[in-house]
């Protein structure tokens, strides 16, 4: 599908119609400028023209000027021009050019009418078709331009209003026309009309191909992103699974009942993980529920050496977060911050909202690392960073850093580790555009 849920073909035609609307507005401004220049030229040449020719200029130019400028008041304040205007304007232009040629024939001579450069205006009209007309409209206007001039030539010749001389050189120096010259003009008009129609059709096909290619590229990128995210999640699941199995192995002999509770907790954790296996995002409520099962297993392992606290602000539990985003961060805090030392350690998981941003934080008071020192990402941090980038691009922030505390002597010492995540705040049911 294309934009706004429309089928691809409809979306392409909507874009073309919008661009043609803009082109029609520009062409009408150009039409007004050309008509004003023609009117000024007619005024300048008025003293040397016959009264009949002057009257004909007025009869043709004034209605065209009035129609051109009236369009601005009637239609151009609307967001979209009437569709029929794209056909009426070129037809009116062809009618005006044909009327000028006919008026010259009536007021002076058919030879003057057929030899005047105003004939070239037909080509200007045809040249504007690809930018403002559909293929059907272009074919109609091109046919009318050819028929209009062919009709004039036929009427002049068979009405006896003009003499014909086969030799074009002789015709150019006499009060006559050459059928070869007029045939060449008609041939050029037919070719120009065909080219204009083909160019319009080519433009429509090109727009359709570009839209199709963009659609296929978007689908491919979405499939690749889903595959990448699934691969990252599969790397995380065995990571904590193996650690938990090691804990169970250590407890089976010494504390069999405790080992049973851990197995039960692991079973529930795996059940929830498998039930959400196809979702790239879940609610924060669901994520915290899974995390609590994981923490329960770790409390068995570490006993009173581990305290995990959840500080969740009201109104954020329905926010969408990446599936299994907090567990690897808490696991990192326990494994690298709390486990290496003998005394009790604390892990705090916080979640709150700042305007349209969901702010998550996992902090521990473990061994930490040097504040500001670069640290390589392991499986947990590296995969979390990659998943966030794939899902949100520039619309997120991820920062992992060591914490510092000041001692009594003003010395800065290591004191824990924190991971901060900022995501767009979206509640369940408002997940448009998210890969799932």
> Is the distance from CB of 215 to CB of 8 less than 8 angstroms?
yes
pLDDT in tens, 16-31: 788 888 888 888 888 8
pLDDT for 4 beyond 50: no
pLDDT of residue 1: 38
pLDDT for 407 beyond 60: no
pLDDT band at 239 (very low <50, low <70, confident <90, very high): low
pLDDT of residue 432: 41
pLDDT band at 264 (very low <50, low <70, confident <90, very high): confident
β 397-406/412-424 pair status: antiparallel
- Per the document, the length of the chain is 436
Q: Which two tokens stand for residue 369?
A: 């690392």
Lowest average pLDDT, out of 130-134, 288-292, 408-412, goes to 408-412
Q: Crossing angle, helix 179-254 and helix 8-45, to 10 degrees?
A: 150
pLDDT for 255 beyond 70: yes
Among candidate residues 302, 301, 304, 274, the one with its CA nearest the CA of residue 290 = 274
pLDDT for 241 beyond 80: no
Q: Which two tokens stand for residue 284?
A: 């924060």
CA-based angle 328:330:336, to the nearest 5? 95
What is the average pLDDT score of the chain?
81
pLDDT of residue 233: 55
pLDDT of residue 141: 92
Sign of the torsion formed by the C-alpha atoms of 60, 65, 66 and 68: positive
pLDDT in tens, 185-210: 999 999 999 999 999 899 888 888 88
pLDDT in tens, 83-128: 888 888 999 999 988 988 888 888 778 888 888 888 888 898 888 8
pLDDT of residue 121: 87
> Is the distance from CB of 67 to CB of 89 less than 8 angstroms?
no
């Amino acid at each position: 599908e294309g934009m706004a849920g429309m089928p691809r073909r409809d979306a392409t035609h909507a874009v073309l119609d919008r661009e043609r609307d803009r082109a029609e507005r520009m062409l009408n401004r150009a039409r007004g400028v050309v008509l004003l220049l023609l009117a000024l030229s007619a005024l300048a040449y008025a003293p040397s023209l016959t009264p009949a020719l002057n009257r004909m200029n007025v009869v043709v130019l004034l209605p065209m000027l009035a129609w051109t400028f009236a369009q601005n008041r009637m239609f151009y304040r609307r967001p979209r021009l009437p569709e029929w205007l794209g056909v009426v304007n070129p037809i009116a232009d062809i009618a005006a050019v044909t009327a000028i040629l006919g008026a010259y024939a009536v007021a002076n001579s058919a030879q003057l009418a057929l030899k005047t450069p105003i004939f070239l205006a037909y080509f200007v009209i045809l040249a504007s078709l690809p930018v403002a007309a559909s293929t059907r409209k272009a074919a109609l206007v091109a046919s009318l331009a050819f028929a209009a001039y062919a009709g004039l030539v036929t009427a002049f010749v068979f009405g006896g209003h003009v003499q014909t001389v086969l030799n074009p050189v002789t015709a150019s120096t006499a009060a006559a026309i050459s059928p070869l010259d007029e045939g060449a003009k008609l041939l050029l008009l037919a070719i120009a009309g065909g080219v204009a129609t083909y160019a319009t059709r080519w433009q429509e096909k090109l727009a359709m191909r570009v839209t199709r290619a963009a659609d296929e590229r978007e689908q491919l990128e979405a499939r690749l992103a889903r595959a990448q995210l699934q691969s990252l999640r599969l790397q995380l699941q065995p990571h904590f699974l193996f650690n938990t199995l090691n804990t169970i192995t250590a407890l089976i002999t010494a504390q069999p009942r405790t080992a049973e509770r851990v197995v039960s907790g692991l079973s529930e954790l795996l059940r929830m993980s498998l039930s959400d296996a196809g979702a790239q995002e879940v609610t924060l409520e669901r994520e915290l529920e899974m995390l609590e099962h994981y923490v329960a297993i770790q409390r068995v392992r570490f006993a009173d050496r581990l305290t995990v606290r959840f500080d969740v602000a009201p109104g954020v539990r329905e926010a969408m977060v990446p599936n299994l985003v907090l567990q690897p961060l808490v696991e990192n805090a326990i494994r690298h911050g709390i486990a290496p030392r003998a005394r009790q350690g604390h892990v705090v998981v916080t979640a709150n909202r700042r305007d349209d941003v969901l702010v998550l934080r996992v902090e521990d008071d473990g061994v930490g690392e040097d504040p500001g020192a670069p640290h390589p990402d392991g499986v947990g941090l590296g995969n979390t960073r990659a998943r966030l980038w794939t899902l949100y691009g520039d619309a997120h922030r991820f920062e992992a850093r060591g914490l510092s505390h000041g001692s009594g002597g003003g010395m800065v010492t290591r004191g824990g580790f924190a991971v901060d995540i900022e995501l767009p705040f979206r509640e369940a049911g408002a997940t448009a555009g998210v890969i799932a």
